[in-house]
Structure 1
Amino acid sequence: MTSGSYGGKVVVVTGGSSGIGAAVVGRFAREGASVVIGYNRGAHEADYLKEELEATGTPCVAVKADVSKTRELEQLMDRAVDRFGRIDVLAACAGISHFGSLSTLTPEAVDHVFAVNTRGQLLAAQHAAERMTAGGRIILTSSNATRRAVFEHGLYAASKAAIDAMVRCLSVELGPRGITINAVAPGATATAMVANNAARYQPPGMNLSAEEWLSVSHALDRIATPDEVAGAYTFLAGKDAAYISGRTLPVESCVF
């Protein structure tokens, strides 16, 4: 398949087997890209998605890669080049959530969250950029938690706030090579991660139903679908975003 806005392009997606990552894979595939589905625990989901895409004529490969492990990230990027000859776009969607009070934080939890959400994205950008030429696009994943006060969500928010700073600084480093780097900051999105923690996004003691909370906290009375968020990644990788770099694009209707 070569038709569409991304015909002939090679896209690597970390965390590509589920949630927003899987939606990003689907978006690029529908636009004609060859896709590399990076996954960690979701082997069954990645294989199923790969089979679905291949049935539509999309060239794709699924590669196990724990982004907290540098060697596995290197192998993911090498596999993309071995299979397709190059990397045009990196969409770094792998991430984990965390809720916990300051008093209960452990060094192990801090290390793990930052290893996946922060270091994993930084090193993914590094290894992808090494294999990119002019025109390459790197899109990382931040969160609207960097701009909101969410109870017992400080560790997660800190790991994502680092992404905003990262893309600003790396943009001036990668710009002379013709590579842009940006981030997408989703708000609440209909994924398993949000469903498993839905009640924790409310202020303590509020105890509203999910429907009531959505009606008072979101301008559109609902949360985003993964495909709606995925559209921000394809935008930032496309020609209409050629002059955007070092920026974080929010995708949300949260009003507080």
Structure 2
Amino acid sequence: MTTTRTAIVTGASGGIGRAVAQRLATDGYAVVVHYAGNEQRAEETVEAITAAGGSAVAIGGDVADEQAVAALFDQTEQHFGGVDAVVHTAGIMQLAPLAEAEFDVIDRMLRTNIRGTLAVTQQAARRIRRGGAIVTFSTSVIRLALPTYTAYAASKGAVEAMTLILAKELRGRDVTVNAVAPGPTATPLFLDGKDEATISRLSSMSPLERLGTPEDIAGAVSFLTGPDGRWVNGQVLAPNGGVA
């Protein structure tokens, strides 16, 4: 009997997460579309997947709440029998020069981006089946060192550190663990609050002279969770069009 391969994609109600969920469904995964608060958009992602002939279900929860994350994995196993890929796209980005940053905003971002990644990857490490793949999300801003991104980049630096170590902790499990570090990508999260001049300047940073698309990033995730990516482990892959 053939076992359906299942992927959990956090933050899959929109943006990069939605593109990843749809791409993995095209690749043959049954997909759990995780969402934090927007159930309607998550259900729209499910509908898009099922309309294209795929299999998907929406499950909500706070990624930084370890009990909610455990419940997410419980429900995934109940629906599909197991977990083979975990792609953790969920995150928040608040920008300000460090001298002006407010710590209640920083704390909320660190809770989601660091504690959330720890909670999701802990459950992934405990439950993912042999031959599986774990993909976290960092950012190319760590290398670009753009002003106003200090706290956000710090949170993603922590994500890279835990990703590289987890890859070694899963020795003998036949599970790959990698991070994806997108460059400037045309998503609501990235475009929010930026004027046309800023968007144009960021677009010109790449030798390809455009912003990335969610589908560009989903292609990188597809590689890491597919058969051609099995020898890539403990790495940070930067789909950024050559900006850094």
Once the two structures are TM-superposed, the CA of residue 186 in structure 1 deviates from its matched residue by 0.4
Q: Structure 2: any 5+ residue segments left out of the alignment?
A: none
Q: Which residue of 2 aligns with 1:160?
A: 156
In structure 1, which of residues 77, 82, 85 is the aligned counterpart of residue 78 of structure 2? 82
Report the counterpart of residue 93 of structure 2 in structure 1.
97
Aligned to 2:221: 233
The C-alpha deviation readout for 1:75-126, integer Å capped at 9, x for no partner, is 1111100100000000000011111122333332222111111111121011
SS of residue matched to 1:12:
strand
Asked if residue 133 in structure 1 is aligned to residue 122 in structure 2, the reply is no
How many angstroms does 1:36 deviate by?
Answer: 0.1
CA distance in 2 between counterparts of 1:27 and 1:8 reads: 16
Hey, what does 1:211 align to over in structure 2? 200
CA deviation digits over 1:144-189, x for unaligned, max 9? 0111121121000000011111111111101222111000000111
1:40–1:65 Cα contact (<8 Å) kept: yes
- The yes-or-no answer on 1:255 pairing with 2:243 is yes
Letter in 2 for 1:10: T
Secondary structure (helix, strand or coil) at the match of 1:90 reads strand
1:188 aligns with 2:187: no
Per-residue deviation, 1:209: 5.7
What is the aligned length?
A: 243
List per-residue Cα deviations over 1:48-74 (Å, max 9, x = no partner). Answer: 111222223322110111112222111
> For the Cα contact (< 8 Å) 2:6–2:83, is it kept in 1?
yes
> Secondary structure in 1 aligned to 2:181?
strand
State the distance in 1 between where 2:74 and 2:206 align. 42
In structure 2, what is the equivalent of residue 202 of structure 1?
none
- Residue deviations 1:195-247 (CA, integer Å, cap 9, x gap): 11434xxxxxxx946335523x2211101110111011111111212121111
Q: Match for 1:179 among 175, 178, 190?
A: 175
Q: For the residues of structure 1 that align with 2:225 and 2:238, how far apart are their CA atoms?
A: 15
Corresponding residue SS for 2:136: strand
Conserved? CA contact 2:27–2:222, under 8 Å: no
Q: How does 1:43-58 map to 2 (within 5 A)?
A: 43-58=39-54
Amino acid corresponding to residue 155 of structure 1 in structure 2: A
Retained in 2: the 8 A contact 1:18–1:42? Answer: no
Give the Cα separation in 1 of the matches to 2:103 and 2:124: 29
Paired residue type of 1:240: D
Letter in 2 for 1:238: G
Q: Which segments of 5 or more consecutive residues in structure 1 lack a partner in the other structure?
A: 200-206
Within the alignment, does 1:222 sit opposite 2:193 as a pair? no
Residue aligning to 2:144: 148
8 Å CA contact 2:202–2:211 kept in 1: the answer is no
Residue in structure 2 matching 1:243, options 216, 221, 231: 231
Deviation at 1:9?
A: 1.0
- TM-score normalised by length of structure 2: 0.93
Aligned residue type for 1:229? I
CA contact 1:139–1:182 (8 Å) conserved in 2: yes
Query: Among the aligned pairs, what percent are the same residue?
Result: 35
Q: 1:212 to 1:147 in 2, by over 3 A?
A: closer
CA distance in 1, matches of 2:44, 2:164: 36
CA contact (8 A) 1:40 1:66 kept: yes
What do you get for the CA RMSD once the two structures are aligned?
1.8
